[in-house]
Structure 1
């Protein structure tokens, strides 16, 4: 029987533990604060920000929101980030991507105080992750680590293959899996659009992380018997539904589950973990900035 991982259940368990951490902070007079910044008219971005705000409210994290017109000057966005950097009530800052074309994404990421960079994308935090001294692990790869742990899948000594090399998922996922630390110690291969014989490489994986952003790109024929398959992809495809579309992953779930030993669904797999690990990083940031020890899960 293939084990289908329930990301919602794992997420809820972690949030229960985070509630205890927030109680510790509250006892010391600290309320964790997360600021979200939106400079987009993209409905998906608006939905993501709304979900993050609701998650904060549910857990007892103060939610601060700043919204700018998509055609506002780039300097306006940098100014908002500067204000949030200086605000002691704000422990974490998240600028929702993508930003408009006239705003340089890398400049935005560098403008966030590294101690408030709860996405983990500031160059200082990326460097610390690579060096094995992570301050904040990027939310989606960290969520994948937590899912593997929940399924009792230890990467140590295993062959892991990551399909996708984005700064958000692929690269940090690779770095977490190769670390000489719990949840790491895997022999890791990163595949991408220029990889030759992709199916041969994915079939060799004990752990396969699909993060290419291509709907149902990986099917059962590309998966080794009994492999652990983590599907990070979330893709809209046309469907005969009320909305006119459905969400699918980068993995063809029905064929993959015939071969995989462990697999995540889409939706309901990695997705819930991403927001939960954002809350995790915000609680950690509050503990660091306020010098309060919290027992993170």
Structure 2
């Protein structure tokens, strides 16, 4: 004999199964998009790797050396093959991220109110744009600067008794590029995270201003952890982080001013009508 509790469980199982089926569909689309992007990037892996070597060539020119003699090596037979796989996965994830983010949004959007969906969409667009800005900064400026710093340690030339040249391994060079891109890409999400937290009331501009000194210290600590152990890349990551922190304070202040104006308008409408203004 079934009880009322059993009937409630049976009724709730159908929506749960529907959500699981939809989740599986979203995951299949995301994994399929990533796999296709991975295959494309893996097919063009050598060309993509040569493109990533360009900052190394620029650094060589800055150091006054012959950029046409930039050499990278691999010391194990399978090293370059696995480096291409890593490059394919890294490029595939970046290319497929808009699809993955879209599938995630479509899965959670039905559970959000209309105003919450409208508030979330700008951040869905801003996040990959900010990541690409951080990646471009790494590619065109910080990677050449870091490689120039390492090249300055060489002992080359006819006047040197012992010749010490920089010959990076392909896996280590790709690891350096990936680390810098991920570090800068994540740091550039700081305005997105803080403004989202401000919209839901988890943080305020006064709190950010009050914790500014701690934020500066944390920025240098995070830079020391995420970047190679050289002052160029560490300072290069810490300074943009501090600038983005200040931008986040300005954005949160704008959100608070907008919220205050909307609250004042709502109260004015209530005073005119004499009845509470229902929330949207």
TM-score, structure 2 normalization: 0.22
Relative contact order: is structure 1 or structure 2 higher (C-alpha 8 Å, sep ≥ 6)? 1
Larger relative strand fraction: 1
Larger relative helix fraction: 2
